[in-house]
Amino acid sequence: MNMQQDDSLPATLDPPGTIAVVGTTHVGIETALYGRYLGYDVKLLAGADTWAPRSSQATSLHRIGPTFSGDWFARHWLGEQSIDERWSDPIPMMPDRCLSPLALSAIAAQREDVPAALPVTMQEWIESGLQSLVETDLLRGRVHANTFVDSIELAAVLEDDEPSEDEEDDGDIPPDFLLKLRGEAIGDDESNELRCECVIIADLPPECCRLEFDPPAEYFYRISSADHADAAEELRAGWQQIARIYAELAGRSDLDLYRPLRV
């Protein structure tokens, strides 16, 4: 892992900078987890109510992970069937490849007993894998599966966030993002707004929320489905996009936490 800063890259956002990850998809959960490993202040929002119905006792699971209309699993795995019909079928990848090494480590750190068996069905992947992940210390209280984003706009940086006279000012500070929300409020905030320094839309349809600005914008990213034929390669492509985004935020040419550290 190359930890050398690359001066040719844009200005950095250092931890504990605030990041909103939009999309409680499997890649969205991994994106939020990656940011938490690096020390960022991350909130994960459902983004849009596009998830297909599924058999689950817990309503909090209805918008965790796959599938939503048009995602990889809807296109390649479900076919003409519903999630209910395939709920107990094997997942379309090997069990040890449905969660990243970071995710498996985060789940294992919460267990004092023998590690649970790896997921083999869609239901186990969502309920035992992804749901266990959002309940780990790193993500607990930061996942808002019933909060949706109607629009995102740019907002001037608040005075309290600007560098003081004693702090180094490396130039113009990029504007913040202001997310207009609906659904469940986040904490005690009833304003239906969320201000953050960075937004990552995690593999949601383009129409999931309205942008009140013209991309590109500094600290605004999209993770998009690469549409691989193989499900495991599809997941890996998403993880690679996550690593590239956080490398850019850190001002580094490489910041891949999925690879073993070279010594």
State percent of the chain over pLDDT 90: 55
Q: Residue 18: which of 177, 140, 164 has the closest Cα?
A: 177
Residue 167 pLDDT exceeds 80: no
| Choice between 56 and 123, residue whose per-residue pLDDT is larger | 123
- Exposed/middle/buried for 109, CB within 10 Å: 0-12, 13-18, 19+? exposed
Per DSSP, the three-state class of 73 is helix
d(CA 247, CA 244): 5
- Whether residue 54 contacts residue 84, with contact meaning beta carbons closer than 8 Å, is answered with yes
Lowest mean pLDDT among 4-8, 84-88, 128-132, 248-252: 4-8
The SS3 call for residue 205 is coil
Task: Decide: 253 and 2 in contact? Cβ < 8 Å.
Answer: yes
Instruction: Find all residues with CB under 8 Å of 101, minimum gap 6, and list them.
Output: 258
Average of pLDDT values for 169-198?
86
The overall average pLDDT reported for the chain is 86
- Provide the pLDDT confidence category of residue 1 given band limits of 50, 70 and 90: very low
Between 48 and 23, whose confidence is greater? 23
Phi-psi region of 219 (alpha: psi -120 to 50; beta: other; left: phi over 0): left
pTM of the model: 0.90
**CA angle (84, 90, 96) in 5-degree steps:** 130
The pLDDT of residue 114 is: 58
What domains are there in the chain, each with its CATH number? 18-249 (3.50.50.60)
Phi and psi torsions of 120, nearest 5°: -125, -15
